[in-house]
Amino acid sequence: MNPVDLELVKLKRQWQKVVSKNEEKPMLICIGEKHETDLFDGFIKSKLSEYEESDDVFLLHYQEFNGMNSFGQTLLDEWTEFYEMLKKSEENIPQWDLKNPEENFKTDAYKAFYPLMELKKNFPNIQDSKIYIYIAPLRISDTGELSLWVKEWCRICEMSENKDIKLVWAEHHTYRTLPNISSAHSFRVEVDIHQLMQNTAAHTNRKKNSPDTDFQQQILIASNHLSKERFKEAEHALKTAVKLAKEQKNKQGEISAYFMLTQAYTADRKKEKAEDDTYRTILEEVEPDSPLAVQMYMNYGSFLLGNSKKSKAEIIFEKAAETAQKIGEYAMAIECYRIIATLNDTVLTKDKMIRYFEKCLDIAKLMDSSAREQSSLRFVASMLILKYEGDTDKKTILNNEMKTYFGDDWKVSVEKPKAG
């Protein structure tokens, strides 16, 4: 058993203990250092493995939180899509009645909770199962609204006297996103990073003092320093890792170490050093016209956005999109153009936004069906339907095109058009 698997086993035991002692709680919150919450994220993902023997059901959601009146619908859309697929492939699937409750709510949490409870009640396979909804939005438009949404979910869950459907959340123990949720049970995950590093080195490197062993060790040491906010020590370890990777002609390792170095500089508020030294070096060193190059352009673009350099970020995302298209990484190209379009979601730049969303449609024509399915094309098209406003012809053409790709129920929930 490798060291990470060993930590997952420990986490599984802790999870079982936490669950058994908190049956009344509608929500479970895992807190820890970043590497610890990352491990918890991996543990949740492991629950989807075909080797998992538990009857529990885990639903994982990384969708963006775009507001307290749309997130519940976002979850429901995904569940509905899966239900419809199941109905087409299996016989005698129980009916799923989606009824709106009479009570008025402040958020749309009810749109996700009540249908799931109804599905559980009528579906023989999951009637006796616990259902855990793990939400980890990649972007949060408003943390205050997220907090209201979560609190209302907990209240609805308690009102229903349900004990089998629970919300799951993970976050840093110091930099909290959600304020105290009185209905939730918080538990701390703790990983002995020093022990994990030693075990990893022992497990993966049979030859002592080999270049590869030394490189991996420096990366682990740097990760540990970063988690403890010891930035100078992390920078030193990463520079050593870069040097070792160059000696080994390990280009991917070299780029990875450089990228970690940008994160160390950024965390240490050395933003100019991250941009002028490290990102510039990465883009010079990375193999041109490769998936790794696209990823690094995207990382650089995100860095620029985080530092309020929108115009420069757009240029970099454009470069990433062009490279991705050139090498056939169409989903990545769509994602880059989607980001540029979203950055121009204003009254003054509406035409530019539409133009970039339409670039995504052009790329989609080059993709096979499975690649389209994995891309953000549904989101792009759903946004365009809104932004076309009164242009009925464009809406009709786009709707028909998406139906050809995804069927009648292709739309996803997106933010309403901005006022004005």
| Least confident residue range of 111-120, 123-132, 218-227 | 218-227
Q: What are phi and psi of 30, to 5 degrees?
A: -90, 130
- Nearest CA-CA partner of 323 in 347, 295, 303: 295
Q: What is the separation of C-alpha 263 from the centre of its chain, rounded to a whole number of angstroms?
A: 18
Nearest to 241 by CA among 266, 227, 259, 229: 259
pLDDT at 175: 82
**What number is the average pLDDT over the span 151-160?**
94
Range 244-262 average pLDDT: 88
At residue 306, the pLDDT reads: 84
Instruction: Give the C-alpha separation, 160 to 155, whole Å.
Output: 9
Which runs of consecutive H residues, i.e. helices, occur in 169-230? 193-204, 211-227
Tens digits of per-residue pLDDT, 362-382?
999 999 888 888 788 999 999
Which amino acid is located at 409 in the chain? D
**Torsional sign, CA 409, 410, 415, 420:** negative
What is the end-to-end Cα distance of the chain in Å, rounded?
59
Which residues does 47 contact at the CB level (< 8 Å), separation at least 6? 54, 56, 58, 132
H or E element at residue 317: helix 310-326
- CA 174, 178, 181, 186: dihedral to nearest 10 degrees? -40
d(CA 64, CA 130): 25
**What is the reported pLDDT for 207?**
47
- Which pTM does this prediction carry? 0.51
What SS3 state is found at 147? helix
Mean pLDDT over 59-80 rounds to 92
Range with the poorest average pLDDT among 218-232, 339-353, 384-398: 218-232
Tokens matching residue 248: 């080994």
* Mean pLDDT, all residues of the chain: 86
Reported confidence tier of residue 149, pLDDT bands at 50, 70, 90: very high
| 165-169, 202-206, 266-270: range with lowest mean pLDDT | 202-206
Q: What is the pLDDT of residue 418?
A: 41
Q: Average of pLDDT values for 187-205?
A: 60
Chain CA centroid to CA 36, Å = 17
Give the pLDDT confidence score for residue 209 in this predicted structure. 47
Report whether 35 contacts 191 (CB < 8 A): yes
Task: Tell me the two tokens of residue 325.
Answer: 């298209």
pLDDT grade for 107, boundaries at 50, 70 and 90: very high
Residue 131 confidence class, pLDDT cut points 50, 70, 90: very high
pLDDT at site 375: 85
Q: Describe the strand order of the beta sheet including 27-32 as a list of residue ranges.
A: 57-61, 131-135, 165-172, 27-32, 184-188
pLDDT on residue 211: 53
CA atoms 207, 211, 214, 218: torsion sign: negative
